Amino acid sequence: MSKDSFAQSAAYLKQAVPLMIKYQIPTTPANYTLWYSYVSASMPELNHAIDQAIKLQGTCSLTTCERLFHQHLAAQDEQQIETMKLSLAAMASELGHTMQDALSDTGAFQTMLDRSFERLSQIDDEGLSLEDTMGILRDLVRESRDVRMSTMHFRSQLSNAEKEIKELREMLNETRKLANEDALTGLLNRRAFGLELDSLIRSRHPFSLILADIDRFKSFNDEYGHLLGDQVLRAFSQRMRECCRDGVTAYRLGGEEFALLLPGRNLSLSRQMAESLRRAIEKMSILDRKSGKRIDHITSSFGVSEFNGQETGDTLVERTDKLLYKAKELGRNRVMPLAL
């Protein structure tokens, strides 16, 4: 690295660290890489995404950092390195033994070549017979064939290793995805919700929480079976996903329970979104493939709260959950609190 490059890298690092401290970003290698790339302005799309997150959330949350790192950086660098580490332990022993065998065969062949050429050089000096000469050549052909087979085997092992690395890379990506995503719906899961909520609480930036629950969901499973229940969950999740604009994020907390985190939104705007979502759910129509019947009486209930700037994440969830259950008690298919 040239002196100029080193100086530039040091300058970027001096800019990145204070930003990480300001936004309470954990000092992990992945986050260093993310914020170093941010201050270097080498990836405009990444900078735009981080700027949007800061604008809406007042920070760049842990899950946002993780998501942006994997979207913009890990696919190019970190994922390949991690995959190589994973594959190394599995393949090192086998490849090591194969390489050792190949090198041993190659060494033996080199010794045999030296010996054979020494003998062939005696043709002029000692006048080797045709039979002796042909014997030397036959030995050369046999030994070269063995080395060729050994080399082909080693090449085959390397090819298999390359395929295994590719498979491991795909498995790694899938495992990383499953860590934060709900398998059935594709929404973010409870783990991701907890991380994002904690980050928003620490930032003290305004935001609101919506908790949603599908009304009488158990009856769908009891009457139509779990396959239709899964269809209902996926259709509900799609409606939730359609709300995810301008920093809004949807989560499946488990069963028929869902959540939306709305950075920068007050209670009034969040309640309007919940009401729009409730109406969209009310219009859903799902075909039961087993009976041929169309199910169109799906409804949902909502609780909406705005962060008061002081409470903990658990307190906010508990307060919002009480509003959700109040909506259930009042007859379901409604948003609480009621509009002012």
CA distance 313 to 310: 10
CA distance 120 to 107: 20
What does residue 178 show for φ and ψ, rounded to 5 degrees? -65, -25
CA distance 215 to 238: 17
**Contact (CB, 8 A) for 182 and 189:** yes
Q: Which of 256, 275, 306, 329 is catalytic?
A: 256
Helices (H), the chain: 3-22, 29-40, 44-57, 62-69, 78-120, 122-126, 130-180, 190-203, 217-224, 226-241, 267-282, 313-329
256: annotated active-site residue: yes
CA distance 63 to 181: 11
- Point out the residues that are catalytic: 256
